[in-house]
Structure 1
Amino acid sequence: MSDVTLQNFEADVIETSRHIPVLVDFWAPWCGPCKTLGPMLEKLEAEAGGKWRLAKVNVDENQDLAAHFGVRSIPHVVAFADGQAVDQFTGVLPESGLRAFLARVMPNPGQTALRAARDALAAGDREAARAAFQAALAFDPGFDAARLEYIGFLLDADALDQAETEFGMLSPGAPQEDGFAALRTRLEAMRGLAGLPDTATLTARVAAAPGDLRARLDLARALIAHRQYEPALEQLLAIVRADRGFEEDIGRTTMLSVFALMSDRPEVVSRWRRQLASALN
């Protein structure tokens, strides 16, 4: 348990919740029901053995925090996971109700393993990340979000055959997942790379015949496969400007997929989005 203020809320609640759930108990010393709920939460936290963390916010001393989360009556509990508020309740729940609330906000084993994979990647430990991805999918073979991240991991290692096998195991609902279209574009680009000349040859072909949209598309796909996204966008934008109907507007749709692949570079994406919007007008 920790006492949280506006100064340490980001570190103790938001950042911590990216690894384990955090329950924030908004309370006050004068609040009778708070004196009932608080010890119950502390008991359950001790029982959990580190699977979740309790943070307490004294609303008298942290009125800005209470207002930010719309706390109008206390005790009020907000659960955080992955850096976001995911559930809440007001008042005192019986212990059975608290356990049911915790069951809703606690990650399943697959989600826990996915977090471990992300942490391992952030630490540069690819072998641990691979094991964690595989564990997540063993716990839940239908966990499309985890499988998509694993496919991206495999593509980063040029393990195309494995990536294609994993892609074939996605569920019918996978196209609704964030990043699906972008990953499919990258997979197709890498798959097609074997049948394409090298980028220098393709670049020369485009220079010799700027109106050859097929050559531009081939070059864009080769560049995507090599993760050279901005040069690929240059070719795709040229296709959009030349012929929106070329292969059913493939220039524009592929640009959108590349934007998703560059989600970690929002300023660059914004610049290219403006150029695409201008070309469409």
Structure 2
Amino acid sequence: MHFAHDVNADNFQQIVIEGSQTVPVVIDFWAPWCGPCKVLKPILEKLAEECGGKFILAKINSDENPDLAAQFGVRGIPNVKAVYHGAVVDEFTGALPEGAVREFIDRILPSPADELRAQAATLRASGDLECALRTLGEASQLDDRNEQIRLDAAEILVELERFEDAKPLLDSLSPVTLMDDRPRALLAKVNFALAGHGGADEASLRERIAAQPEDMESRLQLAELLVAAGRHAEGMDELLEMIRRDRAWNDDAARKTLLSVFSVLGSHPLVGEYRRKLTAALY
């Protein structure tokens, strides 16, 4: 089996895009007139055969495929780009010595933990969530600093409605990781679910609010319960009413909770509608 291929517009989708879903694909942009290209190409071909399929080498003649070169922003050759899961993950320009090329290949090859994470994703896609969780557990034992593994596991636990198990995984993520939309939305969803599972039921909370409209704690509990039940608009209406009555209550808790609902909803049309309502309530 050969692990180096001449690639053009006809087979680019199959070899580079589809191929990179399984293993990294190293693209070598070269041209026949390029002296350094003639030095680098045999090194890449040698390493591709040595690695035995751990990565695929895609050789693209930039003269014959100017559109592909332009698509990847190639300005000088040889230009080498590593693609994994359809995205460029590393690159270099020029003819590096073999030792430096080996270091480049080592950087882009997935670790055993990465491979287990990919297996877990396949299991999850097939519906075997429990086996996917076990596989992620094995991956985490190999690389306990990989927060993406923990995030994958938390996402599956949320899907299984095991919110109490997901919470410590999400709480263990670094502040930098929590800046991304995916973990923020998951954490907000877990917090709403846990809040909704405890405390008074909806009828009791509505009775309290009817008797005492300024009971902010009960309104907040009701809003969290409604959001946890998927009744997002009703929950956000309660939070807006809290903001209108006492914006500063409990260190601006209603507005902060409303922003958490936005994180849960993502690109849902309700977000734009309620952002406008929030602005009106605040000003």
TM-score, normalised relative to structure 1: 0.80
Q: Are 1:136 and 2:150 counterparts?
A: no
Distance in 2 (alpha carbons) for counterparts of 1:74 and 1:198: 67
Tell me the residue number matched to 2:91.
Answer: 88
Tell me the residue number matched to 1:187.
Answer: 190
Tell me the residue number matched to 1:17.
Answer: 20
CA RMSD of aligned residues (A): 3.2
Checking the alignment, whether the CA contact within 8 Å between 1:144 and 1:174 is kept in structure 2 is no
Distance in 2 (alpha carbons) for counterparts of 1:193 and 1:119: 32
What percentage of aligned pairs have identical amino acids? 40
Q: Are 1:50 and 2:49 counterparts?
A: no
Which structure: larger Rg? 2
Checking the alignment, whether the CA contact within 8 Å between 2:170 and 2:183 is kept in structure 1 is no
Please state whether the residue corresponding to 1:57 is helix, strand or coil. Answer: strand
Q: Specify which of 223, 245, 250 is matched with residue 248 of structure 2.
A: 245
Checking the alignment, whether the CA contact within 8 Å between 2:164 and 2:194 is kept in structure 1 is no
Distance in 1 (alpha carbons) for counterparts of 2:69 and 2:193: 50
Tell me the residue number matched to 1:151.
Answer: 154
Measured at CA, do residues 5 and 146 of structure 1 come closer, stay the same or move farther in structure 2, by a change above 3 Å? same
Task: Name structure 1 gaps, 5 residues minimum.
Answer: none
Which moves more between the two structures, 72-81 or 229-238? 229-238
Q: Are 1:162 and 2:200 counterparts?
A: no
TM-score, normalised relative to structure 2: 0.80
Kindly provide the CA deviation profile for residues 115-134 of structure 1, in whole angstroms up to 9, marking residues without a partner as x: 33233222222133112221
Tell me the residue number matched to 1:27.
Answer: 30
Measured at CA, do residues 226 and 171 of structure 1 come closer, stay the same or move farther in structure 2, by a change above 3 Å? same
Distance in 2 (alpha carbons) for counterparts of 1:242 and 1:9: 60
Q: How far 1:54 sits from its partner (Å)?
A: 2.2
Number of residue pairs matched by the alignment: 279
Kindly provide the CA deviation profile for residues 240-259 of structure 1, in whole angstroms up to 9, marking residues without a partner as x: 44433122222232233333
Checking the alignment, whether the CA contact within 8 Å between 2:26 and 2:80 is kept in structure 1 is yes
Q: Are 1:79 and 2:88 counterparts?
A: no
Kindly provide the CA deviation profile for residues 223-243 of structure 1, in whole angstroms up to 9, marking residues without a partner as x: 333344444334334434443
Q: How far 1:89 sits from its partner (Å)?
A: 0.9
Please state whether the residue corresponding to 1:163 is helix, strand or coil. Answer: helix
Please state whether the residue corresponding to 1:88 is helix, strand or coil. Answer: strand
Q: How far 1:204 sits from its partner (Å)?
A: 6.8
